[in-house]
Amino acid sequence: MQSETLEIFIRDINSIRDYIKYINLVNNIQVDSRESDNKVLVDFSNHLYSFGVSKKLFEYKSITISLYGILEKHIGVWIKEYINELPKIVFNYNDLPKNFRDNHFKLSLKLLALLSEGKMLKYEGIEKEVVLAKLNSCVEDPVNFHLNGDAFYLSSGNLKHAKIAEALNYLDIKLTPRLKVVGKRPENFLYRESVNIENKGNELFKLIDDLVTRRNDIAHGEDIDNILNITEFNEYIDFLEGYGRAIYQIFIEKIIETEACYLYKKIENVIGIYKSGSVLCFEIDNSTIRKGDIIIIKLQDGSFDKKEILGIQRNNKSFDELVILTVENIGIDLGKGISKGQEFYIKKQ
């Protein structure tokens, strides 16, 4: 997945913050201009005052719909990015988990039906023939398969947390449990939640659900009698940013987990961890190992991470590269952060 898409998500969030700052500046100018000697400023102040209620409602609708659009757009982008990564890791379609293959087939057929109806603008530009060709490749040429990432795209306009979790479940990502892990890391969006977070469910994400409800009321032309003040949006915006960052990180860790499963092998005989969690000593055979190689680590909370090999030692001698033909014990420097209880994976030869 590309880090640029996370940067674009943050940029989109910050554009809403800038818009709110602009509204506050205009409102302050309006108040300060009431007693001005400048006729233009007085006219400006009177004009804003004359339609203040309508202006406030318009700003509320604009911000609400924009925030929802950011949520829908970027989760959809990340789903497709994740699916596009799979053929780079798994080289035969039949080696993908059966549950994923079943979902891919079912959702591809659903996408074909939606394209035939021609009712959803978000699928404009997707050709039925291309969808069918990709689906056929999975059967006829599984070593050169192509996936229909668009089939997993969020088609609902009611993307409350439970709906997003349902979409990610098709990818074998259990969103709520993973958010509780990723979100509780220091300074992440659930970090200040109570210690009983494990016993909480979707109510943890009530701000997302409330935002979606407000967007739906606007989209369906409901009477709006409970609008948020400009300052009240700050809580929603901060939560949405943290929520999105965490989901992006979950996708990253799911890709690393997939790499560990298909491209790496578990280090079975760990001898020890030394130098304050920096050096991993283990048994290795029939391998070539180099500085700069990547080790995948499964943390105790179920997360996956990568660390670069910074140094290699054998018999107290340092090497940039080792070609190992028989069983040997070596140590590799991974920097800080490794500990007992973790699992370590080295790339298959």
CB neighbour list of residue 298: distance below 8 Å, 6 or more residues apart: 257, 260, 304, 342, 343, 344, 345
State the pLDDT at residue 117: 84
Structure tokens at 191: 């970090």
pLDDT tens digit string along 76-122?
999 999 999 999 999 999 999 999 999 999 999 999 988 888 766 77
Whole-number percent of the chain with pLDDT over 70? 97
Give whole-number Cα distances, 188 to 3, 6, 211, 331, in Å.
Answer: 18, 15, 20, 33
Q: Are 57 and 227 in contact (CB under 8 A)?
A: yes
Alpha-carbon distance 291 to 308, whole Å? 8
Structure-block tokens of residue 44: 């400006």
- Domains of the chain by range and CATH? 3-262 (no CATH), 265-347 (2.40.30.10)
Res 157: pLDDT: 62
- How many residues make up the chain in this entry? 349
Best CA proximity match to 265, nearest among 248, 250, 286: 286
C-alpha distances in Å from residue 252, one per residue of 17, 105, 265, 308 = 27, 24, 19, 17
Q: Please give the average per-residue pLDDT across 18-22, as a whole number.
A: 95
Which amino acid does the sequence have at 349?
Answer: Q
Per-residue pLDDT band for 330 (boundaries 50, 70, 90) equals very high
Q: Mean pLDDT over residues 253-266, rounded?
A: 97
| pLDDT greater than 90 at residue 162 | yes
Lowest mean pLDDT among 42-51, 133-142, 217-226, 331-340: 42-51
